[in-house]
Amino acid sequence: MMALPFLFFGTAFFVAGGAFGYYVAIPQAAGWLIALGQDYKAALTLRAAFQFVSFILLGMGLVFELPILIFFLARLGIVTPGF
């Protein structure tokens, strides 16, 4: 019975992280990288762009999973509220 809420919230947190990455992190990072390389000719390929977007989305999804990981570590006694 306890697995169902974790499955739901784990999926919801990962999707929320992906949405945050897509709507906030990617435009900010892309804008910063483009401004950084204004003096150079960009050699951007479709593969590089897809890899960049994939890494950002996966990374943000995993970052948003941290509350669930911390919950499990607290239940195991590895981390405490004071830590």
Q: What is the pLDDT of residues 29-72, one digit of tens each?
A: 988 988 887 887 777 789 988 999 999 999 999 999 999 999 88
CA-based nearest residue to 59, from 20, 30, 33: 20
Q: With contact defined as beta carbons under 8 Å apart, do 14 and 61 qualify?
A: yes
Query: pTM of this prediction?
Result: 0.80
CA 33 – CA 75 distance, rounded (Å): 41
Q: Which residue has the higher pLDDT, 17 or 40?
A: 17
